[in-house]
Amino acid sequence: MSQSHSAVGAWHRPMVARLAGEEHRTATALELFFDLCFVAAVAQASAAFEHELAEGNVGHAVLGYAMVFFAIWWAWMNFTWFASAYDTDDVPYRLLTLVQITGALVVAAGAAEALGHEDFTVITWGYVVMRLAMVTQWLRAARSDPERRRSCLRYAAGILVVQAGWVARLALPEDWGLPTFAALVLAEIAVPVWAENAAMTTWHPHHIAERYGLFTLIVLGETMTAATAAVRTALDGETALGDILTLVIGGVLTVFALWWLYFAQNAPRKLTSLRSAILWGYGHYAVFASAAAVGAGLAVNVAHSTGHGHLSDQAAAATFTVPVAVFITLVWLLHHRADELRSRNDLIHPAAVLAVLAVTFTPGPVLATGLLSAALVAATLVVAARAQGGADPTRSAT
């Protein structure tokens, strides 16, 4: 059963499930605004990550970044899949979305403290605010959609129980922080699997693919913004543009190639079952996180090339090459079937990943040239994807 959205912003509508095969389904203005607000949290996490890397706290930075980014990604993903099935666009729906946006901004405010001092208090409360808003949305859906009521109630109950766990975690001894975080993450990602097995919600494959594509665009755009800020800071000092020009060109080409590579795929073809949707959706944690980390790595290398920071040449290079390699690997795995992964024609992707990682060990004096080489390797992947009949990103965002 579908519902009309002609009267946009109605005071109240029953939260009836939208059709999974609904024609001309696209992202709404509210969803785009939601993404732009969430990217503020991504930007703050990336900036804090960059700072910790530059200080030489690599292990601490990577762990903290992974933990903070989970809160951002998981809240974004849950809203995206819910909206694909139950977007009523009435006033309660909009106001609850506003609550989630507010929670995301609280998470953004706490990102630096979490990465720098392992204080997750602010982030936890922001995250819980977002998730409790989702509990309310699921209860609305349970009331109006009897066919999937059991699934909706499982979502609401599961999310609520896990949020109690996040709040209780704040009172535990510091030594318990990481183990309890891991346990709660496993509980979070188990909730959709448990709920969807009761009755699968009517998420729309093309809408989901578009939403993920749009968020990838925004995160890659934030990567360019972070790199631009680093270049501006360098030029405000005593650095000449020529000293960092190759580094800048390599970074821009790499990000552009990553964009091209991501959209040279037919994403909706992967979303054909619950299992494939779970793997595809969950796998984007590393896609989004690595995309944002590319910007942080590029900024670290700009600072390193001007004599700032506490990293060796190889460690600085790795802050850029490793996220690029992770992004390429995940896009390759998520958008190819098992038989394609075994094909000799697709060996160029793992070969390119190894080549990008090899750039890490380029001698210091030609570090910028090494980054340009990473960009050229990524560009090679674009050509390979195009030759295999990938989609044209200039025609469709999905």
Out of 150, 175, 196, pick the residue that ends a domain.
196
Residue 252 lies in a domain: yes
Same domain, 185 and 295: no
What percentage of the chain carries pLDDT values higher than 90?
40
- How many domains, in total, are found in the chain? 2
Task: State the burial class of residue 376 (Cβ atoms within 10 Å of its Cβ: 0-12, 13-18, 19+).
Answer: middle
Same domain, 184 and 243: no
Same domain, 64 and 35: yes
pLDDT band, very low/low/confident/very high, at 224 (cuts 50, 70, 90): confident
Residue 2 lies in a domain: no
Residue 277 lies in a domain: yes
Same domain, 221 and 368: yes
Residue 55 lies in a domain: yes
Same domain, 119 and 247: no
pLDDT band, very low/low/confident/very high, at 135 (cuts 50, 70, 90): very high
Residue 96 lies in a domain: yes
pLDDT band, very low/low/confident/very high, at 167 (cuts 50, 70, 90): very high
Out of 137, 163, 196, pick the residue that ends a domain.
196
Same domain, 331 and 189: no
pLDDT band, very low/low/confident/very high, at 2 (cuts 50, 70, 90): very low
CATH at residue 250: 1.20.1410
Q: Which two tokens stand for residue 78?
A: 């849950």
pLDDT at residue 141 in the model: 95
Residue 1 lies in a domain: no
Residue 120 lies in a domain: yes
Residue 5 lies in a domain: no
Same domain, 215 and 115: no
Same domain, 127 and 214: no
pLDDT band, very low/low/confident/very high, at 253 (cuts 50, 70, 90): confident
Out of 196, 227, 256, pick the residue that ends a domain.
196
pLDDT band, very low/low/confident/very high, at 398 (cuts 50, 70, 90): very low
Domain extent at residue 286 = 205-387
Same domain, 176 and 273: no
Same domain, 371 and 270: yes
